[in-house]
Amino acid sequence: MARVSILLKIPNAQERGLTSPSNDNQGLKGERCPICKKPAVAGYEPFCSKRCADVDLHRWLTGGYAIPAQEDDSDGVTDEGGEPPQDS
């Protein structure tokens, strides 16, 4: 009877997604996380971790990065010359 040998490749923890890219110490050269200023990690570029990426997303979604605008009192109606109509 012939013996059959099967070689199985068992993935390591990183291949199975059990480690975070922030734990692999592979920071991007010169890049810093805009949230905490730690070295950025390729898996979460330009951030250092999922947490900092989520903090940034929360700021976007809640209007934390809104640019202040100056309110315009005109109603937006202009005459043919491009100027707002004059009140008589």
Q: Binding residue per annotation — 52?
A: yes
Q: Binding residue per annotation — 48?
A: yes
Query: How far is CA 78 from its chain centroid?
Result: 41
Question: What number of other Cβ atoms are within 10 A of residue 38's Cβ?
Answer: 14
Q: Binding residue per annotation — 41?
A: no
Long-range contacts of 48-51 (CB under 8 A, 24+ apart): 48/22, 49/20, 49/22, 50/20, 50/22
Query: Quick one: tokens of 79?
Result: 């005459």
Q: Binding residue per annotation — 2?
A: no
- Across the chain, how many H-helices and E-strands are there? 1, 2
Binding site: what residues are annotated? 33, 36, 48, 52
Binding site for Zn(2+): what residues are annotated? 33, 36, 48, 52
